[in-house]
A and B are shown apart, each in its own frame.
Chain A
Amino acid sequence: MRREQKKNKNLIIIIILAGLCTLLSFFFDQRVIQTEDKIRELEIQLNDKRVNIINLQSTINSTIELSYDIIKSINYYKDRIDLFYLYNGILNVQVFGSEDEKTKFFKNIDRDKLLKLKSDYKRNAENILKSYDFKIDEIKILNEQILKNEFVKDILNKNDGYEIIQGNFDNYKAKDKFEKFPFDKYLPNDELLNMTEEEFQNQDDYLIYSKIRDPMNEIDNIEYEYWDLLQRLKVRYNNYFAFFSDDLKYYGTQKNKNNLYILLSIFFQILSLTILLFLFKKMIEQKK
């Protein structure tokens, strides 16, 4: 025979409450799982942003250093090639020129010594141009490293006007241009004074000198491209850093939310057990 249980309104309400609390506990458990997924994503994003800050920091540093290194070293090479061109011309006058053309400073110096000095200058100039070509290779490699950076790639893709940075650095090399340089070319004063500027610039030694010197001036302009790139990188760096603390705050809010869900889940779990205790209490009280 089926036992007839006396319907008690209070007991039913308590049972419903206990069930509701258990359901709420399950619901908040689910929310915890979902929020934890979100927190994991945020952690990855925060880590990425931190890596990006470090990445931008090192790219900015290397861009500033490379830009300064290029200007400093190219200035040095320009200076050396200018001095060679000037002093080789002066020595040619002292060695091959007439007595009137010779300057006081060299008059008492032995001709052989001057020839030796000329050959030293020639050797030095050759070595300097070799070293200049190596420097261009070095700049090319360092520049490639900067170009490989994702932020730099993005800036270059979105903006025009980075011709030197993206161009062929071999064009700036001296290579074998110096081989045909007329080291012993002597231009008498009469001829020189009667020459127009155009005629002077069409001299074979001047043409070779210009072919080496002009690309040095061109590569020097890389400074402006790096400066422009640097300003854009700095804006990104500042943004990443400024928004990092905001992201961190959002991450903190999500974690607090997650803790609240955990709390609510445990709270309702304990509450459902407590309600069950109330249920048993009621049942015992009703027991005859």
Chain B
Amino acid sequence: MARLKLLRFSLTALKGFNKEKAIRFINLIIFASLFALSASIISMYYENKIDQIDNKIINEETNILIYENQIEVTPLVLKNIEDIFYDNYKLEDFLKLLELWSEDDSSLITKRHTVFKPYWGFEAAADYGHEQISKSISDAILVADNANDINEIEIFALKFKKIDNEIREIIRIRERIQNDRALNQRKLFSSEDVESAEDKNIYYEKFSSLNDRLIQTLQDQMNFLINFNIKYFSRKKNDTEKIILNLEQDLKKFSNQESLTILIAFILQLVVFVSVQYFEITMESANAKRTKKK
């Protein structure tokens, strides 16, 4: 039924259409189709832009994973290093008093308790801090995206190198002290002698200067963590959040423009399609009429 109506409409339309008018109409539709083509190209341009922005947002969000991890981990690392100081100072005052009190009874509190034992805690904390700083430098390099970042990382990498060299130097001296003692014990063993309490105390005392250097190193590490990890990664996180916000605004703008262009392209395409269908039916019905007459 609908088809018949359309046929009747097309026939009526053809009657009222002269050749010139029909050609003019077709030219107009061809012109509209060119607009439809342009609109579709423009919409694809917007779609590409939107995809690029989308990818940038994904990339920036992945960077945020690193910033947040560093921002979360750093206070914990600082707390762990601080704990070593607190524990040591809390016990050190008490032990030193006891050491002074029992001067003649060297076996009660020795340099082993006040110097040698704390050394291992400091060294473990320095290694731990070193590991964390090395990871933060490597993370910073991974997310650096401009010359300023690289310059800042370079400055802090030099500081890290200095801290790293200091730790290596301390460990080298500690190993030398331990080796000297082992050699001494070997000599004593061959002469069937044992290490005296005084010798032991001298050995433990050698760690005293290393403890001071390790405490300074731990403080340097803490400064590094505060000045680099917290400041750098917080700044980067803020910058990235701003970038994401701007990108999202661009995304919204392009998305609106794309929707409008697609709508225009669709309407023009629909007009072209309806016109083509109109001419198809008109032509077919005219041909059918002619065939009938023959």
Q: Which residues in A have some Cβ–Cβ distance to B below 8 Å?
A: 1, 3, 46, 50, 53-54, 57, 60-61, 64-65, 67-68, 71-72, 75, 79, 83, 86, 90, 103-105, 196-197, 227, 230, 234, 238, 241-242, 244-245, 248-249, 251-252, 255-256, 259-260, 262-263, 266-267, 269-271, 273-274, 276-278, 280-281, 283-285, 287
Contact across chains for B272 and A259 when beta carbons are under 8 A apart: no
Dominant SS among interface residues on chain B: helix
Contact across chains for A285 and B23 when beta carbons are under 8 A apart: yes
Q: Which one, B30-38, B156-164, B209-217, is touching chain A?
A: B30-38
Q: How far is the CB of A80 from chain B (nearest CB, A)?
A: 11
Q: How far is the CB of A243 from chain B (nearest CB, A)?
A: 11
Contact across chains for B121 and A277 when beta carbons are under 8 A apart: no
Contact across chains for B135 and A234 when beta carbons are under 8 A apart: yes
Q: Which residues in B have some Cβ–Cβ distance to A below 8 Å?
A: 19, 22-23, 26-27, 29-30, 33-34, 36-37, 40-41, 44, 47-48, 51-52, 55, 58-59, 62, 65-66, 69, 73, 76, 80, 101-102, 104-105, 107-108, 113, 117, 120-121, 124-125, 127-128, 131-132, 135, 138, 142, 189, 192, 194, 265, 269, 272-273, 275-276, 279-280, 283, 287, 290-291, 294
Also in contact, A57 and B138, with CB within 8 A (given A105-B105, A105-B108, A277-B29): no
Alpha-carbon distance between A57 and B65 when the two chains are bound, in angstroms: 9
**CB < 8 Å neighbour of B41 from A263, A273, A283:** A263
**CB < 8 Å neighbour of B108 from A57, A61, A64, A103:** A103
**CB < 8 Å neighbour of B124 from A61, A75, A281:** A75
Also in contact, A90 and B48, with CB within 8 A (given A277-B30, A284-B19, A285-B23): no
**CB < 8 Å neighbour of A242 from B59, B142, B280:** B142
Contact across chains for A281 and B23 when beta carbons are under 8 A apart: yes
Contact across chains for B48 and A287 when beta carbons are under 8 A apart: no
Alpha-carbon distance between A267 and B40 when the two chains are bound, in angstroms: 7
**CB < 8 Å neighbour of A230 from B59, B131, B294:** B131
**CB < 8 Å neighbour of A267 from B27, B41, B125, B290:** B41
Q: How far is the CB of A120 from chain B (nearest CB, A)?
A: 17
